[in-house]
Amino acid sequence: MKAVCWTGRNSVEVQEVPDPSLLNSRDAIVKVTSTAICGSDLHLLDGYVPTMQNGDVMGHEFMGEVVETGPGIGDDGPRVGDRVVVPFPIACGACAACRAELYSCCENSNPNAGIAERFFGHPTAGIYGYSHLTGGFAGGQAEYARVVFADVNALRIESDLTDEQVLFLSDVLPTGYMAADLCDIQEGEIVAVWGAGAVGQFAMDCARALGAEKVVAIDKEPYRLEMAAAQGYDTVDFEEVDVRSALLELTGGRGPDKCIDAVGMEATHGAAHVRVYDRPSAGRSRARRRCRPCPGVRP
């Protein structure tokens, strides 16, 4: 089959690779009908995440049709012909983390959990197409993919919704929702979202669904800001205006109640963690102060 393979830093190729096969009794083989490229894939491409190997199949956002299942999948699991969305973290469904619904911390799905713990400071679940730190599982930017613990991880789609309407259940929508959920948004609050890409758009929608009265999108790309504006959100182009001043103006001088960073990782190492800003001070109108850098972040 054909698959998108990592071939070195800043290099990917479509290559012919072996078809996947059932390795465990709870596996399933899925014929991929839709897949997506995540912003996190850029971290693999540019070398920020180690342990990638030449020929690794990329992609952790995919869905498709089940074409083969292992004998260990129970009656409630997927069947041949089912249409499924596959979430990116792999969960066994039985460990303490999974029983607590902390699926991204599954204790059984990542054979390289010890390596991940040394690198990240904590172990992670296995993840499709995301380096050998997360298990070295082949990803879904391919014609076929092996889905591990398919009776737990393959979400059956029993409707006529299109791929474009449900594919984002694999990663982007849950990511945006979690960002908003972690904010503990209360009715009537104002939420500012840095980054109006796919995750940012979903974070805005989820913030509104969770009770936000006003949502502000902050970005520089016109098409992203236009998309946010079309959904009724206020927008700020950070290349055109001072973000802090714009937020104060949009919030009656109070500032947003909650803030979401929907960009992440190396893109925000500098200004998001160490910046100079104005603050009112007794005896003078404005005082300059520098934030102390977060641990491990260089100014």
Q: Residue 276: count other Cβ atoms within 10 Å of its Cβ.
A: 9
Pairwise CA distance, residues 20 & 23, whole Å: 9
| Domain shared by 43 and 145, yes or no | yes
What's the CATH number where 254 sits? Answer: 3.40.50.720
- Asked if residue 152 is part of any domain, the answer here is yes
Give yes or no: residues 74 and 55 share one domain: yes
6 and 93 in a single domain? The answer is yes
Instruction: Count Cβ atoms within 10 A of the Cβ of residue 264 and give its class: 0-12 exposed, 13-18 middle, 19 or more buried.
Output: middle
Per the confidence metrics, is the pTM higher than 0.75?
yes
Q: Where are the beta strands (DSSP E) in the chain?
A: 2-8, 11-16, 28-35, 56-57, 62-69, 83-86, 89-90, 126-127, 144-147, 155-156, 190-194, 214-219, 234-237, 258-261, 276-281, 284-290
Print the domain residue range for 207: 174-268
Question: Could you tell me the two tokens for 282?
Answer: 């007794």
Instruction: Please indicate, yes or no, if residue 281 is contained in any of the structural domains.
Output: no
Q: Are residues 33 and 53 in the same domain?
A: yes
For residue 296, tell me if it sits in a domain.
Answer: no
- Evaluate whether 218 touches 245 at the Cβ level (below 8 Å): no
C-beta separation of 128 from 138 below 8 A = yes
How far apart CA 44 and CA 37 sit, in angstroms, is 12
Identify whether the C-beta of residue 139 lies closer than 8 Å to the C-beta of residue 128.
yes
Verify that 190 and 62 share a domain, yes or no: no
Q: What pLDDT does residue 290 have?
A: 37
Domain tally, the chain: 2
Domain membership of residue 20 (yes or no) is: yes
Domain end position, chosen among 148, 170, 192: 170
pLDDT at 279: 38
Q: Are residues 89 and 181 in the same domain?
A: no
Amino acid 266: pLDDT: 57
Give the C-alpha separation, 113 to 38, whole Å. 22
38 plus 147 within the same structural domain: yes
CA 167, distance to chain mean position in Å, is 13
The reply to whether 209 and 152 lie within a common domain is no
54: which 2 tokens?
């030449």
**pLDDT tens for the chain, residues 1 to 299:** 999 999 999 999 999 999 999 999 999 999 999 999 998 898 899 888 999 999 999 999 999 999 999 999 988 899 999 999 999 999 999 999 999 999 999 999 999 999 999 988 999 999 999 999 999 999 999 999 999 999 999 999 999 999 999 999 999 999 999 999 999 999 999 999 999 999 999 999 999 999 999 999 999 999 999 999 999 999 999 999 999 999 999 999 999 999 999 986 655 544 443 333 443 433 333 333 333 444 443 33
**Which CATH number goes with the domain that contains 61?**
3.90.180.10
205 and 119, same structural domain?
no
